[in-house]
Amino acid sequence: MTEPNEHPPAHGNAQVIAAIREEILASGPIPFARFMNIALYNPGHGYYMSSTRRPGRGGDFLTAPELHPFFGLTIAHQLAECWHRLDRPNPFTILEFGSGVGGLAYDVIAGLLDAEPGLRSSLRYRLNEPNPHRLAQAVAAMDEVGLGDIVTADVDTEPFVGVILANEVADAMPVHRLRWTGAAFEELWVGWAEQSGFVDVIGSLSPQMMTFDPLAYLERAGVEIATWPVDARIEVSPAAAAWAGQLARRLERGYAFVIDYGYPAPELYAGHRLGGLLRVYREHEVTDSPYEAVGEQDLTAHVDFSLLSEAAAMTGMAEIGLAAQSDFLANAGLGQLLVNLQQDPTTAVDEYYRAQAAVFRLIDPGGMGRFRVLGLAKGVSLEPPLQGFAGPELPASLRF
């Protein structure tokens, strides 16, 4: 059944639209996850793969690393503790997924080398970035600032001792869109109508969803499906689960930190969120119109942290914590960075106030502060807790 669609005929990147349209015309409607994958990751033309478009500042959304170096410097404090907890291995490897042009990498490395100068000879930082243009820019930029001996593209698949970082990566992984009938799930597919472009098509579960078995998963996760209204809409991401399941294979021993917006499954799939949480970002505006500006706008969905944790556990990782970003950053030393800046006699007044404003944006409970940080570990003791997960509340100096 085709749902009414108020979207105008498809417009956006011509190559991306053609690729999706041709696939639909050749084999019929496709799962939304397939549409999302092409729209975001079509080589050379997808939203994240363009040689010219730069998501982030000046683009369609703002990420925490771009807001202020304090984000990366605070992450570095936590990674320094990880280095010590791992008995200061040589090499100590950091693998960053979705590394972009290297902004977070630079701040993390700077923070680590400032806190632990002796780490330089053993530090290795791998950039995992799907866009080859941005990856090349990052590697070249690191070489220009004298970090070429530390930073490389992620080409070595041998397990390592160290840390995996993923900031706002999981939310951009393709999702399937489902509708609850009161007794079972239907799936929203993507079709093509010559007069209106891409349209929603309600059908049975795709083979991928049949394998995933959303009903069984939600029951395992403790979601109270019996309370759902008919026509509840949700998104699920087997792709994100598969990615989380691969993290353990990359690590011999170490930690992983997944930072994103989302909730544990019982919170994600309840209440007002049962209208669906697919979001579209374009020019710093948020809409729910995925079929407009195809290939030229970001498509995201809130992350199910229960799913990531379960998938990681099935391959040998243990959850060490799930904290609000505000709490994690505060516990890991964000406030002290601001205090240090304030006490530095060379700090200009406007510099301090810019940093202060950035700090409050990072911990704002109505904004970035409500992001979550999922901590995972393999082959290490879970006690005592890492600094970022050691306390549940913001210190008084950082409260609103």
* 4 φ/ψ angles, rounded to the nearest 5 degrees: -55, 140
Domain positions in the chain: 14-56+172-244+261-303
* Residuewise pLDDT in 10s, the chain (400 residues): 555 444 455 689 999 999 999 999 999 999 999 999 999 999 999 999 988 765 554 455 567 767 778 899 999 999 999 999 999 999 999 999 999 999 999 999 999 999 999 999 999 999 999 999 999 999 999 999 999 999 999 998 899 999 999 999 999 999 999 999 999 999 999 999 998 899 999 999 999 999 999 999 999 999 999 999 999 999 999 999 999 999 999 999 999 999 999 999 999 999 999 999 999 998 878 888 999 999 999 999 999 999 999 999 999 999 999 999 999 999 999 889 888 888 988 988 888 888 888 888 888 888 887 899 999 999 999 999 999 999 755 554 454 3
- pLDDT reported for residue 54: 59
Q: Collect all residues with Cβ–Cβ distance below 8 Å to 189 and sequence separation of at least 6.
A: 29, 30, 31, 32, 200, 201, 202, 203, 206
Q: Which two tokens stand for residue 130?
A: 């799907």
- pLDDT reported for residue 59: 54
Query: 293: phi > 0 → left, psi -120 to 50 → alpha, else beta; which?
Result: left
Class of domain 14-56+172-244+261-303: alpha beta
- pLDDT reported for residue 368: 81
- pLDDT reported for residue 351: 85
236 pairs with which residues across the strands?
176
- Report field, pTM of the whole predicted structure over 0.75: yes
- pLDDT reported for residue 53: 61
- pLDDT reported for residue 16: 97
Which element (helix H / strand E) includes 180? Answer: strand 176-180
To 5 degrees, how large is the angle CA 221–CA 225–CA 226? 135
Distances (CA, A) of 38 to 14, 48, 158, 223, 317: 12, 10, 29, 31, 31
Q: Which two tokens stand for residue 51?
A: 């040689």
Which element (helix H / strand E) includes 280? Answer: strand 278-282
Peptide bond into 65 cis (omega under 30): no
